Amino acid sequence: MPKARIDQAFDQVRIQGDKAFVPYIMAGDGGLAKLDEQLAFLEQAGATVVELGIPFSDPVADGPTIQEAGIRALKEGVSLQKVLDKLAESKENRDIPIVLMTYINPIYTFGVAEFAKACEESGVDGLIIPDLPLEEESLVVESLRAHDIALIRLAALTSPQARLEEIAKRTEGFLYAVTVTGTTGARIDFSDHVGTYLAQLKEMSKAPVLAGFGVSTPEHVRSLSKHCDGVVVGSKIVDSLHAGDKQTIETLIAASKNSVNVR
């Protein structure tokens, strides 16, 4: 049951008194042959779920770090089909749930129903589609439901109250609370309003609320996690993996763990 695997992963985190940590990596950055090893490393380091990006030629929500990773992956010849095939091969050896992050265009090209089926067959548990607004969701919702793939919705700092409520009500797996206005990428600081915004989303959502965009230091992980159920970290993870700096990733993930638990 794909969707249930995500729920179980968050339950486990809660039981241990930890916060969730969802690293984002770009599929095929460094070649798809490295994917299994990268996923195993993140699982071993204590990640809750992995968000796996599909490289795309027009990544409108992405800042420079993730755009460059996408260009590197495209140069390696990575495509949605190849990522799904690769995930299918290693499905049995993997416990950590996978959420694919892809823009809507590659899904259309693939065919929505075929894509949902391929996700299930490849052991994909959920999806983030940043350029699919609530109003257009009906294009994919039924197919995803048929294959039990969670559709994770994004809340924006600029969304009006009623819209946030609708997003919180519909989300599956978790609620992705975008903490900055703008594109992905490491930030120094967050607006004072972020704490209130996260607390408000926590009230509205039955699903776990995760803060993402700009999270790049252990202090960010700790301070944002106080207001919600955990964080998503992209650019800092992508840069560190590219530089071969596993220590930085381990330190970031460790910041989401209850310090009373000895690891």
Ligand X SMILES: O=P(O)(O)OC[C@@H](O)[C@@H](O)c1c[nH]c2ccccc12
Q: How far is the CB of 64 from ligand X (least distance, A)?
A: 10
Largest CA distance in the chain: 48
Is 62 an active-site residue? Answer: yes
The catalytic position among 51, 125, 229, 239 is 51
Task: State which residue, 126 or 212, has the beta carbon closest to ligand X.
Answer: 212
Instruction: CB nearer to ligand X: give 101 or 209.
Output: 101
Minimum gap (Å) between residue 8 Cβ and ligand X:
21
Q: Across-strand partners of 194? A: none
239-248 as b/e: b if 16+ CB within 10 A: bbbbeeeeeb
CB nearer ligand X, residue 121 or residue 131 = 131
Annotated catalytic residue 120: no
Token couple for 80: 């949605």
Of the two residues 92 and 189, which places its CB atom closer to ligand X in the complex?
189
Residues of this chain that interact with ligand X (CB under 6 A) are 24, 51, 53, 61-62, 66, 101, 128, 130, 184-185, 212-215, 232-235
Minimum distance, C-beta of residue 15 to ligand X, in the bound complex (Å): 25
Half-sphere exposure of 203 (CA within 13 A, CB side): 9
Taking the C-alpha atoms of residue 142 and residue 145, their distance in angstroms, rounded to an integer, is: 5
| Short-list 175, 192, 198, 209, CA closest to 19 | 209
Residues 172 and 126 sit within 8 Å (Cβ to Cβ): yes
Catalytic residue among 7, 18, 29, 62, which?
62
Of the candidates 33, 228, 80, the one whose C-alpha atom is nearest the C-alpha of residue 256 is 228
Question: Cβ 110 to ligand X, closest distance in Å?
Answer: 18
What are the residue numbers of the active site? 51, 62
